[in-house]
Amino acid sequence: CSEAICPGAVLLHGFARAQADALWSITQTVLATAPLRQMQTPGGHWMSVQTSSCGTAGWVSDELGYRYSTHDPLSGQRWPAIPAEFLQLARDAAAAGGFADFVPDACLINRYTPGARMSLHQDRNERDFGAPIVSLSLGVPAIFLFGGQQRSDKPRRYRLLHGDVVVWGGPARLAFHGVAPLALGDHPLSGDARINLTFRKAL
């Protein structure tokens, strides 16, 4: 079933539940080539999540800023390709959210362990805000914070479970959002961790 978060944003409860365990193991394959690492913000802080990417472009952050890069700064190589199963899921979910023919060129992988969080922000490093972002949650549940158009708007909270998918587009594309500090949990595949995949059209 699906739950409207706001115009342009829909939470598809359990949309990927049937494939979630397979998507988890495919994610591990990607991470064997492009390992998770902590990134530094332009302000000089370390992010509490661990990050990697696949696709033509990967999201990176360092003292110079946030941006997309065609190469993994750790290896100097191109990021691994987005697996076909990921592309299919992103396309199907976007269509269910009202965005036909979505073809992401970037997949950001964020791993949260207990206490890791993401403070309120907007995703604005992508070139085309007309394309949606599709988000897949795997592993232990997280509390997602949906903040609305202004940073000062009081965030609404949504619990995201293994196999849940959210499609963010239209007026929701530039909304403020974040993730509350991950609570202790235990998941058969991920242990105490949560992994979020976000499919984006970055270039």
Phi, psi (deg, nearest 5) at residue 101: 60, 35
Closest to ligand MD5 by CB, 10 vs 175, is: 175
Question: Which lies closer to ligand MD5 via its Cβ, residue 76 or residue 167?
Answer: 167
Residue 55 · residue 83 · CB < 8 Å:
no
| 76 conformational bin, left if phi > 0, alpha if psi -120 to 50, beta if neither | left
The interface partner of residue 126, options being Fe ion, ligand MD5, none and the CB cut-off 5 to 8 Å by kind, is: none
Cα torsion 132, 73, 163, 26: sign:
positive
Residue spans of beta strands (DSSP E) within the chain = 2-6, 9-12, 37-40, 46-55, 58-62, 65-69, 106-112, 118-121, 133-139, 142-148, 156-160, 165-168, 176-179, 194-200
Residues 85-124 vs ligand MD5: string with x where CB under 6 A?
Answer: -----------------------x-x-------x----x-
Cα distances (Å, whole numbers) of residue 197 to 51, 157, 164: 10, 19, 11
- What is the contact mask toward ligand MD5 in residues 119 to 138, using x (rule: CB under 6 A)? ----x---------x-x---
Residue 84 makes CB contacts below 8 A (sequence gap 6+) with none
Cβ-based nearer residue to ligand MD5, 15 or 168: 168
Cβ distance to ligand MD5 smaller for residue 76 or 146: 146
Task: Choose which of 15, 102, 146, 158 interacts with ligand MD5 (CB under 6 A).
Answer: 146
Nearer of residues 70 and 122 to ligand MD5, judged by Cβ:
122
Q: CB 42 → Fe ion: shortest distance, Å?
A: 16
Which residues of the shown chain bind ligand MD5 in the complex (CB under 6 A)?
Answer: 9, 108, 110, 118, 123, 133, 135, 144, 146, 168, 172-173, 175, 177, 179, 196, 198
